[in-house]
Each structure stands twice: as C-alpha cells, then as structure tokens.
Amino acid sequence: MGNYREAEPLYQRSLAIREQALGRDHPDVAQSLNGLAVLYSNMGNYSEAEPLYQRSLAIKEQTLGSDHPSVATSLNNLALLYQNMGNYSEAEPLYQRSLAIWEQALGSNHPDVAISLNNLAVLYQAQGNIDLATDYFTRTSNIEENNLSLIFTTGSEAQKQAYMNTLSGTTHRAISLHLQDAPNNPEVAQLALTTLLRRKGRILDALTDNIQLIRENLTPENQQLLDQLADTRTQLATLIYNKPENLDGEAYKTQVANLKAEANQLEAELSRRSAEFRTLSQPVTIEAIQQQIPENSVLVELTLYQPFDVNNRQWGDPRYAAYILHATGEPQWVDLGEAAPINAAAKDLQNSLARYGNLTTLQETARELDSLLMQPIRAKLGDKTHILMSPDSQLNLIPFAALVDENNQYLVENYQITYLTTGRDLLRLENKQQPRQAAVIVANPDYDEPGVNNSEIAFNRGSNQRSSDIDSIRFGELPGTAAEADAIQPLLPNATVLTEAKATEQAIKQVEAPRILHVATHGFFLNVDLVAPTANPFENRGFVGVQARPDADFTPSAPVNQENPLLRSGLALAGFNSRSGGGSEDGVLTALELAGLNLRGTQLVVLSACETGVGDVANGEGVYGLRRALAIAGAESQLISLWKVSDEGTKDLMVDYYQRLLSGEGRSAALREVQLAMLQDAEYQHPFFWASFIPSGEWAAME
C-alpha cells in the first residue's frame, strides 16, 4: 500500500522476536532480514538495505547450503539492489549465480528461472547491451510460453486472467525494448511481435480450445458437467435480472456468491478434463501467421503498451504502437505515441457517430483520429487494400472504416477492413467444421406477456438499451425487424424463423451450429463503474520471495470489478419485460449464456441489434461482451454493431448484405459494398447508418 512507515516497525518487531526465540542464525531470521531489506530498497534507503541482504544471504548459505533455492532468492534480491544503485558489475555475477542455482534445483522451465533471466535481460538493457538483453528476454518468453500452455489447461477464466496479469510486465518490456531502446533492430522487432502474437487474446483462445476439446471428446460425464455449467449460468443470470421479492439483501448476496463459486468450480473441472485430450500444438511464429495472410492483405496488430525506463525502473505513460505484417518480408512497425490523446479522439468519434452528429463536425473528428492513428500506418501498407485489423484497448470500439484520410475520403472508400482479436486468429480460421442445421432467424420478439399493451414504449431498436439498473429497462416491439425477417427468409432456403412468442431464450439455446444465426432484437450493455487498482501488476516480477511495491500506476489489463462482464451484456427475447420467457427462462439472454451455445460450424452470426459489439474493454483481450461470447461459442464470423442502430436503415443494410453473400461475395467485402452503396444514398450517407456494423473473423465467401 506504500505505507512504509507503518510497515517498518512491524518488520523490525518480527525480526526481534525471531532472533530471540530462534537465534540470530536461524533461516526464519534471514527471511525477516530479507523482508526488511526489500522495504528499505523500495524506500530508496539502499545503504540500510545492503547489510541486511548480505546478512540474510550469509545465514542461508550457512544453514541451508550454498546451492539452496532460498540462497538464490537472496542473491537475486541483492543483485537487484546493486542494479538499482547502478553497480552493474557487482549485480551481474550475483544474478548469474542465482540463475545457475535455480536451473539446477528447479529445472530450466521453472517460473523463478524466468524471473532471473528477465532480471538479467533488464540489466543488460540498462547497460546498452541489446544483443544480450534480447537473448535473455527470448529465453524468458519461451519459458513463460511453455508454462502458459500448461497452466491454461486448468482453472476458470478469472484464474487464467489472474495468471496472465503476472506476465504483463515481460510482454510490455519486450515491446518497450524494441520501440524505446532498439527501434531499428529487426531481431528485437521479431521478439516483440512474437511475444505480442503469442499473448494477445490468449485467454479467449484457451477458453475456446477447452470447450471445443470437451465437445469433440464428449463423454457422459463431460456432458453432465457442461449441462450443469449451463444450468448454473442460467440460474445466475435469472437471479441477477429477476431478483425474488421475498429474498432479503444478505440472502440474495449469498445465493449469487454461491452460484458464482459453483460456476467457477465447474469451469475449472472442465478445463482440467480437457487437458486429457490436449495435444501439443505448434508454437506460434511470425512465419506461420504470414502463411495465412492473403497476397492482397496486410495484418495490422495494434497494441497498448507501457514503456519501461530501465535506468530508473519506472513505467511511463501508456502508448499505442502498431506492427504491420505482410504475407512476405520482415515485420514493420510504428510507435503511435501516447495513448491519452488517441483515446480521447476515439471517444469523440464514438460520441459523434452514436449521436448522429453534424456531418462536417464528425468528419473533422474522424480526420483528427486518423492523423494520430492510421495515417502513420498507411505509409507501411504498400498497395494492400484488405486490412486485417487487430485493435487493442479502446480502439476495439471504433469503426476504422469511418475514419477520414488526408484526401477527405472515408477509409471504406479505399480499404476493406476485417477485425480480429489477434493475428493468431488466422491460424484458428484454418480449422473449420460443417454446420449442423440450416439458418435460424430470430426477430421481433414479444417482450410482454400475451395481451399486454406496450404501445407507449419506443419502437427504435436502440432505445432504452442502457441502464445501470436492469429493472428500469423495458423494450417496445420492433416491426422493422419483422420486415427484416420477411425480407431475409426467401434468401435463406430452409431457414427456421422464430418471431413474436416463439423468439424465446430457450429456442436459441437449443440451436446446434446453424449455418447462419441472425438475431434482430434489442441488445443491451449495462454500465458499471470500474475501480482501477492503484498498483502496477508488473513490478512484482523483480524481487523474489517478497513482493516489491510497484513504482507506478497502470491501467488494468482486464475488468477489475467482481461482476462477470459477460453478465452485463445480452439480448432481449420474448418475455423480457415481464421476466417470463417460458419455463425457467426470463427472456434475458446474457453473453455468459450465449457463450455456452454450440456454434462450432456456424459460418456467420449477425446480431442485428444495438451495441452488440460493445462491452468492457480488456487490454490485450478484446471486448468482454457479446462479441467475446460468440467467439467462445465457436462462431466462424460475426457481424455486430457499435451503437444504437436505425430500425429501417438496418433492415435495408441487412437485405442488401445477404443478397451479396448469396451472389458469392466475401463476408467482409459484401459489407463494404453495402456501405459504399449507402454512401451514395442521400438518406443513408451519414456514417451513423452505414458504419455501425463491423465484420470480425473469417472474411472469405461462405460455402
């Protein structure tokens, strides 16, 4: 907490008790000495810390032996002290000896070995020895990659996120080593991009892989666990969105907590079982990803990173960077500058688009963001016209097609843009399965019980969709979606159409990998105030055995509120207003429930509703919301929206989109052609109408 003055007398009293009770040379005394030394190091009192580290080291060597792992801890921490003091020549042999002990005692892939290698890398980086720093960072990254593959076979999503946070420091340091210390070094660029490609969106991959492996190797026991997990998630969603009136506050909290714990336990058990079927996959490499990039395309991997000052061991303000990868040739890159002005411009554009703002003002805002973000990138795109865009952080929530270039043209006029969570998605897209049923169309649900008059409720597809209190949300009928379904049905032979009272939550949960799933209804995303931690999760990787206080604040890499963000976004279906969707359902299909669908083999999911692409943004992990849920469920590609959409305009867009798909156009190319046509239409030329929907996943034509 940074309360050093309160911590100091407690450490000292602990030390005195141990010395008196155990003797001055007991290993527990060495532990207290180490803790007090770490405190003084964090306070900058190096002269007081040094003799304590040295005495702790001497006790451990005498009582435990010179090759004990605890001795390696003291050596590492003393070396780190010398490094902070600028005594690099004294730090290096201590680090090297510490590394040798850990490798001998714990094995070459132990996390403590990775910490030791990382500290040596930072030491060499501080000395300007980029070659050695790169070598040690590479070894660190390879060990962490190996451990990630093992650890991610078990645990819940929350546990995976917690572990991933412990590795954030080395990810950002690798990128910082390249962009801040060696911007013209191609070997360091390879290290930075490889690390980014391996880790960005990694949790989503792990969850999707586990569910897929379970389904492909389904046993009666696993089926029972999957059913239990789906049932638990449904109970949790129902409890949150339809709180029983006779349940007091404490009992309600207890029930919610118990269901969350049960869901986490089931997730962890399913993950553990998937390990039985897991086969070692080929490691992610730049070359493997390049093989999946079409000749007319280019991958743009955006990242939010935090630069690291190796001399002062402090983190700087977050910055955006882009790595550009063509089908052949070396990676290219550009440091885009501090994140704050880019995020501010992105937020301004979001507001202008969602509010149907003045067109001239909107174009000026779109030009401002483009000058900060895409103009530096365009210089490295060459003649490529298809951008495989992997955004990060707040950039997940903007339509790049609506940016305006230096020639006052929208990017959609010159580029086809497909969105990915990470460039690693290109490897996944190779593994396709066949649909199990024809298309399913869900539209115009009856949000009330039969006979209830809802004529006073607004008919706009985007109305009243946001609220911090779910009880205040009521939706009106959507005649435009009924017309949309009528227009689309003839284009999709043998399609199942579910409307009005049949457009239920249960009906969607029963689908089995339809070729196309089209849902036209109200969507919602509930805002929750997120409290960012004041601690930097990175710096604890320096000291071993005792946590070191962070040096600077850092934006959390995942939502930090305790509520699962997949519970706060969803779709409204039949019975939503009365919370009676038939049977045990309440008409509220949350993203968490949607993630449990079996869409492995579904070629396209269209969520023709408002804000189906928004949610909580997690640095390096994308958007926690419907977009993420569909990826977990296995959908090959998605068409989702970023703001409240026009009912009539959306119907026209969708009909034109499906007609183009059926004529053989690619999934992304078809959307671009629709957008270009709308640009020429006086009624729909404002980006509010044509830029809301973005395509993600597979871009090629459907079978």
The span from the CA of 600 to the CA of 208, in Å, is 10
pLDDT at residue 429 in the model = 81
pLDDT over threshold 60, residue 562:
no
CA atoms within 13 A on the CB side of 305: 31
The residue extents of the domains of the chain are 4-199, 206-274, 286-427, 433-529+558-645+693-697
Q: Where are the beta strands (DSSP E) in 92-193?
A: none
Fold of 4-199: 1.25.40
Which has more confidence, 244 or 87? 87
Q: What is the pLDDT of residues 222-241, one digit of tens each?
A: 778 877 877 887 777 677 66
Residue 36 has pLDDT above 70, yes or no: yes
Q: Locate tokens 């209830």: which residue?
A: 452
Residue 19's nearest CA partner among 48, 47, 59, 53 is 59
Q: Using pLDDT thresholds of 50, 70 and 90, give the confidence band for residue 138.
A: very high
**Confidence at 456, pLDDT banded by 50, 70, 90:** very low
**Whether the predicted pLDDT of 686 surpasses 90:** yes
Query: For strand 622-625 and strand 615-618, is the pairing parallel, antiparallel, or unpaired?
Result: antiparallel
Q: List pLDDT tens digits, range 521-545.
A: 888 877 654 323 333 322 322 344 3
Altogether, the residues listed in the chain come to a count of 703
| pLDDT (0 to 100) of residue 457 | 37
**pLDDT tens, residue by residue, 652-679:** 899 999 999 999 999 999 999 999 999 9
pLDDT (0 to 100) of residue 209: 61
CB 614 within 8 A of CB 624: no
Q: Which of 457, 383, 388 lies closest to 419, judged by CA?
A: 388
Cα separation, 128 vs 501, in Å, equals: 69
Nearest C-alpha neighbor of 503 from the set 569, 558, 427, 581? 581
Token pair in block for residue 410: 């929208």
Sign of the Cα pseudo-torsion (659, 663, 669, 673, in order): negative
Statement: residue 425 has pLDDT above 80: yes
Q: Is 257 a residue whose pLDDT tops 90?
A: no
Whether residue 393 contacts residue 344, with contact meaning beta carbons closer than 8 Å, is answered with no
Q: Which two structure tokens, joined as six digits, stand for 384?
A: 């490529």
Domain 286-427: top CATH class: alpha beta
At residue 578, the pLDDT reads 84
- Give, in order, the Cα–Cα distances in Å from 617 to each of 156, 172, 433: 19, 18, 29
Backbone angles phi, psi at 293, to 5 degrees: -90, 120
In 3D space, the residue among 481, 516, 517 whose CA is nearest the CA of residue 610 turns out to be 481
Quote the CA–CA distance of 598 and 486 in Å, as a whole number. 26
What sign has the CA pseudo-torsion 105, 107, 111, 114?
positive
Q: What angle do CA 85, 87, 92 make, to 5 degrees?
A: 120
Predicted local confidence at residue 284, as pLDDT: 83
Report the pLDDT value the prediction gives residue 541, as an integer from 0 to 100. 27
Alpha-carbon torsion 242, 247, 248, 250, what sign?
negative
SS3 229: helix
| The pLDDT value given to residue 527 | 66
- Give the mean model confidence (pLDDT) for residues 280-306: 88
What is the rounded distance in angstroms from the CA atom of residue 175 to the CA atom of residue 306? 8
- pLDDT > 70 in the chain, percent: 82
Which percentage of the chain shows pLDDT scores above 90? 54
Note the pLDDT of residue 543: 41
Pairing of strands 637-641, 604-607: parallel
Lowest mean pLDDT, pick from 28-37, 43-52, 250-259, 510-519: 250-259
- The answer to whether the 4-199 and 286-427 domains have the same CATH topology is no
* CA–CA dist 528, 229 (Å, integer): 25
DSSP three-state, residue 468: coil
Which distant-in-sequence residues (6+ apart) come within 8 Å of 124 by Cβ? 130, 132, 133, 136
Q: Are 270 and 225 in contact (CB under 8 A)?
A: yes
pLDDT confidence of residue 443: 93
For residue 155, name the pLDDT band (cuts at 50, 70, 90): low
- Determine the average pLDDT of the residues in 578-586: 75
Buried b (16+ CB within 10 A) or exposed e, 373-391: bbbebbebbeebebbbbbb
Give the pLDDT of residue 282.
53
> Which of 436, 448, 457 minimizes the C-alpha distance to 601?
436
Residues in Cβ contact with 116 at an 8 Å cutoff, skipping those fewer than 6 apart:
72, 76, 95, 98, 99, 102, 544
φ/ψ of residue 298, rounded to 5:
-145, 140
pLDDT one-digit tens code per residue, 51-69: 999 999 999 999 999 999 9
